[in-house]
Amino acid sequence: MTHLIHIINPVKVDKNSDLYYAQPITFESILVAKNFSKHKEKITLCTTQFEEDRSFIPEGFIQLSNLNQSVLDVNLDLKTRKLPLIKDILNKIKEIDPCDYCIYTNVDIALMPHFYDTVFQYLEKGHDAIVINRRRLSNKYTKVEDLPLMYADLGKSHPGFDCFVFKRSLLDAFILESICVGISFLEVTLVHNLFSFAKKPLYIPDAHLTFHIGMDVLVPRKNNFYKHNRSVFFKTIYPKLKPYFLLKTFPYGTLTFPNRMIKWMLNPSLFTMNYLSLEKKNILQVIKAYLDEIRWRILQR
């Protein structure tokens, strides 16, 4: 029996934050999706949070132990924003048993009612990691009562990554270091880990499974938290992951050469330098296989 653990990291905010309106919608959509699923007994919803964030989390979510550090504790140059580390959030999953597959979504990502049943079908096909891109909806939606209207709104696609499904055993291989949530390069870190260690990953760029209120694609990046995540990724994580990279496992890797080149280079969460390196490696492998085939045919004569 496959058991799913879906973990999120709620944060208590005031009315000046977009999350003030987004999180109640997220909570309700997750509860609706679980109740809708024919596999509801195999789904556990849980949160991990700082102590001050516990009070507003609704029933239906198991509150795991509190987080006890933030990015402010690991980078003393950062101030004001108490952002959790993704490795601390995901490690809380170990408090739940049984757990075969894990789901992590940002707290501003809402689910369609058929989300979990769709995920189960993909897992039954043997995928050990799934990345699902969201749909973007207008910010005219601000109330939980508007959920039926949101379900009916197809919205627009989004190129970024914010919903991650993965086999529990992969968690032990992840290299996450001090990457914090709520800042760019969180998605970069997770997707590069998933497509490095998963054996049969799946990338779903344009399905109607999750959605986000707001049409923005790129968020402001010129801040010290962005610099922190970016530096940690390129200086510490990327060198350790690079030996595991394979072109065929990354998004667009199975497309034709022109298509994958264009899509890879336009996606803000993937990097041209990485693509060129993998493309070179792939071409060399193709050439070697071709030359080996010629060699074997000559030997058989």
Q: Does 278 fall in a domain? A: no
Specify the CATH number for the domain of residue 242. Answer: 3.90.550.10
pLDDT per residue as tens digits for the range 9-30: 999 999 999 899 999 999 999 9
Domain count, the chain: 1
The pTM assigned to this predicted structure is 0.90
Pull the structure tokens for residue 168.
């529990």
Q: Does 247 fall in a domain? A: yes
Q: Does 54 fall in a domain? A: yes
Residue 277 has pLDDT above 90, yes or no: no
How far apart, in whole angstroms, are the C-alpha atoms of residue 37 and residue 55? 27
Q: Does 168 fall in a domain? A: yes
At 271, is the pLDDT very low, low, confident or very high (cuts 50, 70, 90)?
Answer: confident
Residue ranges making up the domain that contains 10: 4-254
**DSSP codes of every residue in 126-185:** T-SEEEEPPEEE-TT--SGGGHHHHHH---EE--S--EEEEEGGGGGG---TTPBTTSTT
Q: Does 270 fall in a domain? A: no
CB atoms within 10 A of CB 73: 12
**What's residue 142's pLDDT?**
93
How far apart, in whole angstroms, are the C-alpha atoms of residue 255 and residue 261? 9
Instruction: Please provide the distance, in angstroms rounded to a whole number, between the alpha carbons at the two ends of the chain.
Output: 53
Q: Does 224 fall in a domain? A: yes
pLDDT per residue as tens digits for the range 243-254: 998 888 888 878
Percentage of the chain surpassing pLDDT 70? 93
**What's residue 259's pLDDT?**
86
Choose among 284, 278, 280, 199: nearest CA to 242. Answer: 278
pLDDT per residue as tens digits for the range 77-130: 999 899 999 999 999 999 999 899 999 999 999 999 999 999 999 999 999 999
Q: Does 263 fall in a domain? A: no
Q: Does 281 fall in a domain? A: no
Residue, of 287 and 190, whose pLDDT is higher: 190
